[in-house]
Amino acid sequence: MATITAVYENGMFRPTGPVDLPEGATVHVVAAPVRTEQDEARRRVFEILSQSYDTGDPEAAARHDEHQP
């Protein structure tokens, strides 16, 4: 079984490289999104933001909106 990288555009999968299949061949497609570097960077940022931050100031939560416009 071969893995083919493709882009989904206008309702069709367009291979990004040559495909070793006979013309008109029927295949079974399992779509698995490819993670990009941007996706991984976003995941790391959200991981950091989801951690609690200890300011040492017990009143920080009460003053949360103090600096909001």
pLDDT, tens only, 10-66: 999 999 999 999 999 999 988 888 877 888 888 888 888 777 677 777 777 777 777
Q: Is the model's pTM score more than 0.85?
A: no
Give rounded-to-5 percent helix, strand, coil for the chain.
25, 10, 65
Residue 42 tokens read as 């976003």
CB 16 within 8 A of CB 5: yes
